[in-house]
Amino acid sequence: MCPERERIQREKLRDLAIFERLHGNPGKSSPALAVKKFCRTISTKYVQASDMRPITVLEDTLNYLLSLLESKEHLFEVVHDFVFDRTRSIRQDITMQNIVNKKAIYMYEGMVKFHVVSHYKLWCSMSDPNTASLHHLNMEQLTKTLASLFNLYEANQNSNHVHENEAEFHSLYVLLHLGSYSQPMGEPLSLWFQRVSTPVLKSKEMCFARRILRSFRLGNYKDFFCTAAAQASYLQFCIMMPYINEVRVLALSCINFGGYKLHPYPLLDLSKLLFIKESDLESFCNHCGLETGTDESGNKLLPTKQTTFSHPKGGFQRYSFLGLQEYER
């Protein structure tokens, strides 16, 4: 997984990640542990044939790296940092050897999955400034990896044939546009749509993503949540999760200001509408400056027309989305 001369040099420099150390020794590794590091500037003049890993070795390396994500021994941020760098090196080797076959597609899909799941998991820990930085860098590499994947799809295009996962990965790019005027690749989504093939545009994955984006921008919170709960894949959820609380705030605002003062809204019904646990919803309402009450039967209610409603500053704690736990398991 790592050229011998690089491994020996990094052993001398004690430049070994925790996953590369033989028996925990920071100055000793092995061919089964060392993984080639990403190098920002590589001159082809100094590259030796032994530095380039063939596609079969790259496949094995990627599988090894992705298996580390299930590690319970280390924090996710630690694992992410290692896999983040080493997958960049894999992409670099693929590019330098001009590999554009189906094996490259499957590898890029695996690397996009890594960045998408990281997007969600790092967002869950955004209160830490260091994690916020990792989240930003991960987003950069997610968009770059997606762009390369789309180029590979195009290079392997065959009439109206659509690759097995092509539609879902295109839908992820659409969902990255949730948020205020977001343009991950620096161009309007309308121009990007013109380059997408008709079979992909008409796929259920793309129809889902466009419907979610439309509901988000129109403020149709009911359609947003019902569609997400019924159709979203785990990867699509990972992209959407940072925006779900924004839609919940919009829903609370509409219900609070548009409701009838004499008819408080039952929290149980509201929790089903927003796909959130009732206990979490009570905390969420308080976070938005709203007080909850209880009726004579002990049912929790949200009185409407409260003037204390405000959009929380400083973000939210992590609130559940009912149904997502099944995916995570």
Q: What is the pLDDT of residue 180?
A: 59
Q: What is the mean pLDDT of the chain?
A: 89
Separation CA 182–CA 257 (nearest Å): 28
CB-CB neighbours of 217 under 10 Å: 11
> For residue 133, with 0-12 CB atoms within 10 Å meaning exposed, 13-18 middle and 19 or more buried, which class applies?
exposed
| Cα–Cα nearest to 205, from 239, 180, 179 | 239
User: Any bridge partners for residue 75, and if so which?
Assistant: none
pLDDT above 90 (res 128): no
| Cα–Cα nearest to 34, from 73, 61, 56 | 61
Which amino acid is residue 305, in one-letter code? K
Q: Which pLDDT band holds residue 321 (cuts at 50, 70, 90)?
A: confident
Distance between alpha carbon 192 and the CA centroid of its chain, in Å?
20
What is the DSSP track for 270-314? HHHHHT--HHHHHHHHHHTT---EE-TTS-EEE-S--TT--PPSS
Report the pLDDT averaged over residues 188-201: 90
Report the SS3 class of residue 44. Answer: coil
Q: What is the pLDDT of residue 322?
A: 79
Buried b (16+ CB within 10 A) or exposed e, 299-319: ebbbbbebeebeeeeeebeeb
pLDDT above 70 (res 54): yes
Q: What is the pLDDT of residue 208?
A: 97
Report the SS3 class of residue 79. Answer: helix
Buried b (16+ CB within 10 A) or exposed e, 37-59: beeeeeeeeeeeeebebeeeebb
234-269 residue pLDDT tens:
999 999 998 899 999 999 999 999 888 788 999 999
> For residue 122, with 0-12 CB atoms within 10 Å meaning exposed, 13-18 middle and 19 or more buried, which class applies?
buried
Separation CA 93–CA 84 (nearest Å): 15
Close Cβ partners of 151 (under 8 Å, ≥ 6 residues apart): none
282-301 residue pLDDT tens:
999 999 999 999 988 889 99
Report the pLDDT averaged over residues 125-136: 83
Q: What is the pLDDT of residue 46?
A: 58
Return the DSSP state at 37. Answer: P
Report the pLDDT averaged over residues 133-157: 93
Report the pLDDT averaged over residues 222-233: 93
Helix 166-175 and helix 102-123, axial crossing angle in degrees, nearest 10: 30
* Contact indicator for 69, 79 with CB cutoff of 8 Å: yes
* Contact indicator for 36, 2 with CB cutoff of 8 Å: yes
* Contact indicator for 298, 208 with CB cutoff of 8 Å: no
* Contact indicator for 35, 1 with CB cutoff of 8 Å: yes
166-191 residue pLDDT tens:
999 999 999 999 975 566 667 788 88
21-33 residue pLDDT tens:
999 999 999 999 9
Q: What is the pLDDT of residue 311?
A: 86
